[in-house]
Amino acid sequence: MSDHAVLHVKGRVLTGPKDDAGRDELWVVGGRITYDRPAAARDVRTVEGWALPGLVDAHCHVGLDAHGPVPDDVSEKQALTEREAGALLLRDAGSPSDTRWIDDRDDLPKIIRAGRHIARPRRYIRNYAHEIEPEDLVAHVAREARRGDGWVKLVGDWIDRDLGDLSACWPREAAEAAIAEAHRLGARVTAHCFAEDSLRDLVEAGIDCIEHATGLTEDLIPLFAERGVAIVPTLVNIATFPDLAAGGEAKYPRWSAHMRRLHERRYDTVRAAHDAGIPVYVGTDAGGGLAHGLVAGEVAELVTAGIPPVEALSATTWAARAWLGRPGLDEGAPADLVVYEADPRTDVRVLAGPRRVVLNGRIVA
């Protein structure tokens, strides 16, 4: 498409989970969405199908692999893989790489960064995080709040080698002070949490989101719901727990057994959270040990857990974009959208095969 071309998307435009408007077409002019037919448009390209806002992967790591930061050309390939899957808005939940150059590329997904992970010494994956003691937490949270795009990422728990099991990383008072500082600077805070014992302190300290949340229990669910704390379950990542447990069983049998229990109840945990009104969003944890481009698989996992298909779809489209403060298929919004051959509300597996991907008004896939 040329810079002056007009894109006509026709068929069904899904502007929300209820699709009250029932729109059957939209136009893209100058890279932005309009529902008014442009006058005297000469160069028009038509795409037919079911249009959704660009998908959201709310837990994704561009610039990171299993060993730490990666070169820019690898980061580019990661971003392109997400784009091909229809994920056009990524919340980068922790990365040691500087990926600001991606913001200057109108052919790559938009990224909302959470700065670099903040962890305790020897309590997270090597080369990923700032590894600090609790007395330095406030200063590092302030630094990453300024470096990121309105989010900060803590490592809330990890294996304690002395205990041989998962345990909380931060004293309650340190977490409270750090979260308060992030909020003062206009940033929200999220935390990696597998286990149970870090959750109450973090939620009562004012945290905004929990990643993975496999340790969520019946007694904690009302607290999450009351405080409006969101979870991003990353079920495609939790599927790796049995292999992780097998690899660590000889050295850390207690940890291995714990990981297996968390895995076994993963669907019950997510379903109970959803049923209680806890906001649940789609995130894959791509970029660490997982490949990129798994967003459709994560939506399918939410459905397997018992979340209704339309709500699982909303967790990667309308609701997710609203949560992150980004528009959907709104009049005048940047034209970031994905077109499918069939209605994804009927079968979310449709998401695995986009017919067209449109980014900043251009067909890119």
CA distance 125 to 256: 17
Given a cut of 50, whether residue 7 has pLDDT beyond it is: yes
Task: Work out the percent of the chain whose per-residue pLDDT is above 70.
Answer: 98
CA distance 122 to 208: 25
pLDDT tens per residue across span 213-234:
999 999 999 999 999 999 999 9
Query: Hey, what long-range contacts does 143-147 have (CB within 8 A, 24 or more apart)?
Result: 143/115, 144/114, 144/115, 144/116, 144/118, 145/115, 145/181, 145/182, 145/185, 145/186, 145/187, 146/185, 147/113, 147/115, 147/116
Confidence of residue 332 (pLDDT cuts 50, 70, 90): very high
pLDDT tens per residue across span 269-325:
999 999 999 999 999 999 988 999 999 999 999 999 999 999 999 999 999 999 999
Q: Are 357 and 81 in contact (CB under 8 A)?
A: no
Task: Work out the percent of the chain whose per-residue pLDDT is above 90.
Answer: 94
Given a cut of 50, whether residue 65 has pLDDT beyond it is: yes
Q: What is the mean pLDDT of the segment spanning 34-58?
A: 92
Residue in the block written with tokens 């989010």 = 151
Confidence of residue 21 (pLDDT cuts 50, 70, 90): low
Average pLDDT, the chain: 96
Confidence of residue 22 (pLDDT cuts 50, 70, 90): confident
Given a cut of 60, whether residue 183 has pLDDT beyond it is: yes
Angle among Cα 141, 145, 150 to the nearest 5 degrees reads: 135
Residue 150 is inside which H or E element, if any? none
Q: What is the mean pLDDT of the segment spanning 172-197?
A: 98
Tokens representing 107 are 């052919």
Q: What is the mean pLDDT of the segment spanning 15-43?
A: 87
- According to DSSP, the residues that pair with 356 across neighbouring strands are 339
Q: According to the model, what pLDDT value does residue 1 have?
A: 47
Nearest residue to 358 (alpha-carbon basis) of 329, 332, 331? 329
Q: Are 147 and 115 in contact (CB under 8 A)?
A: yes
Given a cut of 90, whether residue 17 has pLDDT beyond it is: no
